[in-house]
Structure 1
Amino acid sequence: MPRIAVDERRELLVEAAIRVMARDGVAKATTRSIVAEAGMALAAFHYSFRSKQELLENVIQTITAHTLDLAVERLGAEGGVEAKVRAALDSYWQHLVANPGEHRVTYELTQYALRHPGLATVAKRQYEAYIEGASRLIDSLAQSSDVTWTAPVPVIARYLIAVMDGLTLLWLNEGDDVSARAALELAGEHLISLIKVR
């Protein structure tokens, strides 16, 4: 493999780790299986990450970015605030349906981290990243649409994460698209009801 920059190598290893975890499970995602998936030597992992914990944190950040970037893009589009809320939720849902393995990995990572001493901070950081991402979206929507919220942004962010987490897990277990979409629409309506026009 030609020589590549550290940042690019890290990115390739993180994407390889996500593929391995989605296919084989988090517990089977060894450094050897990850470098093999990436087509790199084992030494590449140790040059790129100080520990498996650092890799797991990067995996979480990357998966979060996969969905967050799409939602941010939707919020920047033309249209009213209600349409933007629905479009952002829809972008998350489309990603879920297209990449269920990635989303299963997030739940598995949480449990894996909580069950292994020394990795508990990974699970804590995972949900901190979710809340931070949701807060950025909520703030961005308020600024781009010149609205305010009827509750504090951190509270709405936690509510949004709890609702989406539950809907995601339910859909991953049931696979009932119609019921999941109806619940998602209800969540969107409730979120919209928390908006106050200036």
Structure 2
Amino acid sequence: MARVSADERRRLLVQAAIRVMARDGVAQATTRSIVAEADMSLGTFHYCFRSKEELLEQVITTITSHTLAPALEVIESSGTLEEKLRGGLASYWQHVLDNPDEHRLTYELTQYATRNPALAEFARKQYRSYLDAHTEVIEALGASAGVTWTVDEAVLARYVTAIVDGLTLLYLNEGDTEMAGAAIELAAAQILALAGTSPTA
């Protein structure tokens, strides 16, 4: 392939890994199948990544960014707290509806890691990245809307992670778009109820 930077090679390998894992399953996603998908040599993989675990961490980081970046864009735009929160959730949920296989992959990765001793820390790191992403969203919401939260932000981040993770998994297995949308609306209302007043009020 044409000469590209190491960062670009890593990005292309991660995207190839996502496609292979979503299509064939995590267990079938060997380094050889991933480099074949990316049209690269096996040596390129080992040059870009120290281990398969490092690649998997980048897969999760990439998938998380697919939903985090658009949500933050909504949150940091103009509007009320309610508009920002509902808009951010809607942005995430639309990605679930448009890319169900990508989200199924995240759950498969968790189960794969917990059954593989060599990846013992991966699931912990995976959910740490979710908590970090939701903490960033919560902080951005508070700052952009000028409010504080009535509960500790670390606790709220775990609450939001549990809600989003649970509703996503339920939808992926149940497939009821209407009911999933109603549950997302309920989650938004509950989170809004945890918003306090402006610290300068």
> TM-score category by the smaller chain?
over 0.9
Task: State the Cα deviation string for residues 62-113 of structure 1 (Å, max 9, x = none).
Answer: 1111110011011012110001000000000000000001100100000001
Q: Which amino acid aligns with 1:22?
A: A
SS at match of 1:147: coil
Aligned length: 198
Aligned residue number for residue 168 of structure 1: 168
2:66 aligned partner? 66
Counterpart position of 2:188: 188
1:10 deviation in Å? Answer: 0.3
CA distance in 2 between counterparts of 1:84 and 1:192 reads: 11
- What runs of 5+ residues in structure 2 fail to find an aligned partner? none
The aligned residue for residue 140 of structure 1 is 140
| Partner Cα distance (1:14, 1:157) in 2 | 27
Q: Distance in 2 between matches of 1:32 and 1:12?
A: 14
Please name the residue that 1:100 is paired with. Answer: 100
Q: Secondary structure at the match of 1:169?
A: helix
Gaps of 5+ in 1: none
Shift of residue 120 of structure 1?
1.6
CA distance in 2 between partners of 1:104 and 1:67 (Å): 14
Q: Distance in 2 between matches of 1:89 and 1:60?
A: 19
Q: Provide the identity percentage.
A: 58
Post-superposition Cα deviations, 1:114-149, rounded to whole Å, max 9, x if no partner, equal: 100120211100000000110011001101111000
**Shift >4 Å, 4+ stretches:** none
Determine the C-alpha separation between the residues in 2 that align with 1:85 and 1:169. Answer: 21
Q: Which residue of 1 aligns with 2:23?
A: 23
- Between the aligned partners of 1:103 and 1:110, the Cα distance in structure 2 is 11
The residue aligned with 1:110 is 110
Q: CA RMSD in A?
A: 0.6
Match of 1:53 in 2: 53
| Paired amino acid for 2:61 | Q
Distance 1:15 1:132 in 2: 22
User: How high is the TM-score relative to the length of structure 2?
Assistant: 0.97
Q: Provide the rounded CA distance (Å) in 2 between the counterparts of 1:110 and 1:127.
A: 9
